[in-house]
Chain A
Amino acid sequence: MKHLLSTEGLDRDTATALLDTADELKRTLLGREVRKLPTLRGRTVITMFYENSTRTRVSFELAGKWMSADVVNVSAGGSSVGKGESLRDTVLTLSAAGADCVIVRHPASGAAQRLAAWLADTPTSVVNAGDGMHEHPTQALLDAATLRERLGPLEGRRVVIVGDVLHSRVARSNVHLLTTLGAEVVLVGPPTLVPTALTSWLESNRVRVSFDLDAELPTADAVMMLRVQAERMHGAFFPSAREYSISYGLNAARAALLPEHAVVMHPGPMLRGMEIADSVADAANSAIVEQVRNGVHVRMAVLYHLLAAQSPAGEVA
């Protein structure tokens, strides 16, 4: 595996290997005074974020540093991107400077794929840390890791994904990964925020669409709340935040409909009060903090699988 661009097309064995590695890394580092492994010594990882991020960027940086890689952060604001340098020139520059891996977040869907194509003749790996409305594969992996931790194997489990499915790369990546791992996915949201061209997903028989959240909660093994992505909405998708919250927000009364074992998740950042109530987000069955913790281990696993055996940048692979 050279790049991690999407969970679509990620086969079950590879996905399981990544999750197993993440589990072992978590166990290995648990309770240690020194959270440092020498595995990626001498590797250079560059994060390239063209969109805001707290947890994804920090956890990639920690993942690299905990495995002794050198991590450099490039942000669109402070780099030559501000002078008008193209994405292609920027990434070729980073590769030439010695990046073994470029981690990219970009507002354009498909940006990571383009980067991988431009870097085809170099040994530099690309990890997609979120491209527009397309995919966010490491988020789906950390969600799956969290679900496995709480529920055991995902075969036959039902995960309800709620909210702004249309604009959500998290939802897209999760649909592909969770169904690959044998789970069933129910997409719930206002009709304006559920994509219309779902036929290929629905054909798999593992994905279903519903507009009634209350009806889906009693049979859910997990409910994943999505952020309403106001920055990607150019038009009126729902009348008001209050109305959205009444129909699709996870308040305490709704959370009470969930079975006892069900896990509440949110990829963050949360809009408390609108998408999810405070009491629900901080309840015992909420895995939201655990998701962040697992994010570091999952990203360590991804870097390990991509970089441990790769020849250093500059040498012919």
Chain B
Amino acid sequence: MAPRTRGATGPAERELLSAGDVARTVARIAHQIIEKTAVGSSEPTPVLLGIPTRGAPLAARLAERITEFSGTQVPYGSIDVTLYRDDLRRRPPRPLELTQLPEGGIEDRIVILVDDVLFSGRTIRSALDALRDIGRPRAVQLAVLVDRGHRELPIRADYVGKNVPTSRREEVAVLLSEVDDRDAVLLRAAADESGGER
């Protein structure tokens, strides 16, 4: 097991998933999606929508894996939820991120929302609100790399990479090479109460 602390000066930090673990986890979720939504059958293929920042590259990776395993192209895109957040008033204005819907849209499709960490559930609620303004999917599912608990809303994930029991004082950091310098999932002792959810 990795050491719990890096040293006297650095912050307490523990690796939950290595780069290899991240790749295996994404592959496993891809298999689960294929099985659950019957990708490759006569059913319409699902649409993957990642929530920026790190949900977007995760959605792209998942779509790639699903195509590789099933031979079926899966449309994917991103959906920014900043304008739908319930905590806008509490923080300085945030820059908006890319919303890019795949060409076929989401009307009557199964939409799978993809995010890195599931925490309070508020981001997912915002995403559901945003989806409602864009169209009416047949069903909405949720895939996350890490579920760290502490839900504040009745929301659950359909596909979970890893369940991590955490304290509110801790922070789960997902690193992806598209955004960061490497792939990893880290557990840190956070300075503030807000935890890892941005």
Q: Do A and B bind each other?
A: yes
Could you list which residues of chain A lie within 8 angstroms of chain B, going by C-beta atoms?
17, 20-21, 24-25, 27-28, 32-34, 36-39, 67, 304-305, 308-312
Collect the chain B residues with CB atoms within 8 Å of residue A308's CB: 88-89, 93
When distances are taken between beta carbons in the complex, the residues of chain B under 8 Å from A310 are: 89
In the bound complex, how far is the Cα of B93 from the Cα of A312, in angstroms? Answer: 15
Interface residue from B80, B98, B129, B134 paired with A32 (Cβ < 8 Å)? B134
Cross-chain contact A21 with B95 (CB below 8 angstroms) = yes
Q: Which residue of A lies closest to B87 (CB)?
A: A309
In the bound complex, residues from chain B placing their C-beta under 8 Å from that of A67 are 83
Q: Name which residue of chain B comes closest to A68, CB basis.
A: B83
CA distance A74 to B173 in the complex (A): 49
Determine whether the beta carbon of A311 is less than 8 Å from that of B96.
no
> Which 3 pairs, one residue from A and one from B, show the smallest C-beta to C-beta distance?
A24-B96, A39-B83, A308-B88
> Among residues 61 to 116 in chain B, which have CB atoms less than 8 Å away from a CB atom of chain A?
80, 83-84, 88-93, 95-100
Specify which chain A residues have a CB less than 8 angstroms from the CB of B99 in the assembled complex.
24, 27-28
A290 to B162, CA, bound (A): 48
- Complex CA distance for A304 and B100, rounded to whole angstroms: 21
| A38 and B93 contacting across the interface, CB-CB below 8 Å | no
Say whether, besides A37-B133, A309-B89, A20 and B84 are in contact (CB < 8 Å): no
- B129-142: contact bitstring with A at CB < 8 Å (1 yes, 0 no)? 10001110000000
With a cutoff of 8 Å between Cβ atoms, the chain A residues found around residue B89 in the complex are 308-312
Query: A28 and B96: CB pair below 8 A?
Result: yes
- B134: chain A residues at CB < 8 Å are 32
**Contact among A34, A305, A309, A311 with B133 in the assembled complex (CB-CB below 8 Å):** A34
Asked whether, in the complex, the Cβ of B80 is within 8 Å of the Cβ of A24, the reply is: yes
In the assembled complex, which residues on chain B have CB atoms less than 8 Å from the CB atom of A309?
A: 88-93
Complex Cα distance A25/B86, Å?
18
Contacts of B133 in A (CB 8 A): 32, 34, 36-37
Closest to A43 in B: B89
A-B contact pairs, 18 of them (CB 8 A): A20-B95, A20-B96, A21-B95, A21-B96, A24-B96, A24-B97, A24-B99, A27-B98, A27-B99, A28-B99, A37-B84, A38-B129, A39-B83, A304-B83, A305-B93, A308-B93, A309-B92, A312-B89
> Which residues 34-61 of B have a CB within 8 angstroms of A?
none
Distance, CA A36 to CA B92, complexed state (A): 22
**Residue numbers in A under 8 Å from B84 (CB-CB):** 37-39
- Does B83 contact A28, Cβ atoms closer than 8 Å? yes
Given A21-B96, A309-B89, A312-B89, 20 more contacts at CB 8 Å? A21-B95, A24-B98, A24-B99, A27-B100, A28-B99, A32-B133, A36-B133, A37-B133, A38-B84, A38-B129, A39-B83, A304-B83, A304-B93, A305-B93, A308-B89, A308-B93, A309-B90, A309-B91, A309-B93, A310-B89
Chain A CB within 10 Å, residue with most, of B84, B95, B96: B96
Contacts of A305 in B (CB 8 A): 93
In whole angstroms, what is the CA distance A21 to B96 when docked?
6
Q: CA of A21 to CA of B92 in the docked complex: distance in angstroms? A: 14
Rounded to whole angstroms, the CA-CA distance of A127 and B134 in the bound complex is: 30
**Could you tell me the distance between the alpha carbons of A33 and B84 in the complex, rounded to whole angstroms?**
17
Chain B residues with CB under 8 Å of A17's CB are 95
Cα separation A309 to B134 with both chains bound (whole Å): 25
In the bound complex, CA of A25 to CA of B90 (Å):
21
Taking CB atoms, residues of chain A closer than 8 Å to B88 are 39, 308-309
**Which residues of the partner chain B approach A311 to less than 8 Å between Cβ atoms?**
89
Most buried by B among A36, A39, A67: A39
- Using Cβ atoms and an 8 Å threshold, which residues of chain A touch B96? 20-21, 24-25, 28
Give the CA-CA distance A34 to B96 in the complex, in Å: 19
**Chain B residues within an 8 Å CB radius of A33:** 135
Task: Name which residue of chain A comes closest to B134, CB basis.
Answer: A32
A289 shortest CB reach to chain B, Å: 24
B3 vs chain A, min Cβ distance (A): 40
CA A36 to CA B133, docked complex, whole Å: 8
Please give, as numbers and ranges, the residues of chain A lying within 8 Å of B98 by CB-CB distance.
Answer: 24, 27
